[in-house]
Amino acid sequence: MTGHHGWGYGQNDGPSQWHKLYPIAQGDRQSPINIVSSQAVYSPSLKPLELSYEACTSLSIANNGHSVQVEFNDSDDRTGK
């Protein structure tokens, strides 16, 4: 498995350089939503996260240069609570 990548964790391709390839990655903390830690409030009504799955077979496994990418059949249902 081979793959080419433009980012990594080295001096020339590490987090301090990511914004050069991906301008949206500029900043101290990255999240798809703005989580302000100092304003986060715990709610005792929240239940523990429960995940379940049924075993399935992958269609393909590839090294994309940063991680392993696994493709599954889209007809498989996955749920989380």
Distance set, CA 53 to CA 43, 49, 56, 70 (Å): 27, 14, 9, 16
Rg of the chain over Cα atoms, rounded to whole angstroms, equals 18
The catalytically annotated residue of 4, 5, 19, 66 is: 66
19 is catalytic: no
Q: How remote is the C-alpha of 62 from its chain's centroid?
A: 16
Residues annotated catalytic, as ranges: 66
